[in-house]
Every structure is written in structure tokens, then in C-alpha cells.
Amino acid sequence: MVQHWNEYRYPFWFMYVVATLEIIGGIGVLTGFWYFELSKYIAALIAVLMLGTIHAHLFRAKHNPYGDKCNVDVVLIHFASQHSNFSPSLMVGFPSNDL
């Protein structure tokens, strides 16, 4: 992690600040089940952290998001299969129960 942090060119102490905010966000997500009004603040915190992550990877460290295309494809296939009406019975060779 320290090697990656050096690529981002942020001060080293900022790594501890970000880690602390991530821990607060994780605890906040769990407490959001009981204290729903807290959820919007935790969601905003996590959104800001994710925007910072995108900035660090793309602009500070100059990482190419499509450099390893296989990873991008696997993530997109996984997302599509989890968040759609995908059914294995639609695949060729699987019997359908819809008669």
C-alpha cells in the first residue's frame, strides 16, 4: 500500500486520514441499519472517498483503466449478471422450466 501511495504523490500522513475515514464509513454503513438518518451522511462520505480514489488513480498516478482489459471485462460481465434478469435457463443447453 505504501508503494501505491507513493505513486499517488500525496503526503504519507494523508494515508492515515483516508484510512480513518474509510473505517468511519464502514462502521457508518453498519449503523445505518439502525439509524437510517445517518445513512445519507455516510453515503456522501463514501462518495467523496470514491471520487478521491478516481482522481488518485487516473490523474495523480496516471493509471490506465483499460491497460488490463481482461479485468474490465470480468467486472462488467459480473455486474451485468448480478444486476439484470439473467437466468441460466436462457443459456443454450440448459433445460427451461417455463413450459
At 6 the pLDDT is 78
For the chain, give every domain's residue range.
2-84
Angle at CA 80, nearest 5°, toward 78 and 85?
Answer: 125
In sign, the C-alpha dihedral spanning 11, 65, 50, 78 is negative
| Contact (Cβ atoms closer than 8 angstroms) between residue 45 and residue 21 | yes
Greater confidence (81 vs 16) lies with: 16
Listed residue (60, 42, 64, 41) closest to 52, CA to CA? 60
Query: 32-83 pLDDT, tens per residue?
Result: 888 888 889 999 999 999 888 888 877 777 766 666 555 556 666 666 666 5
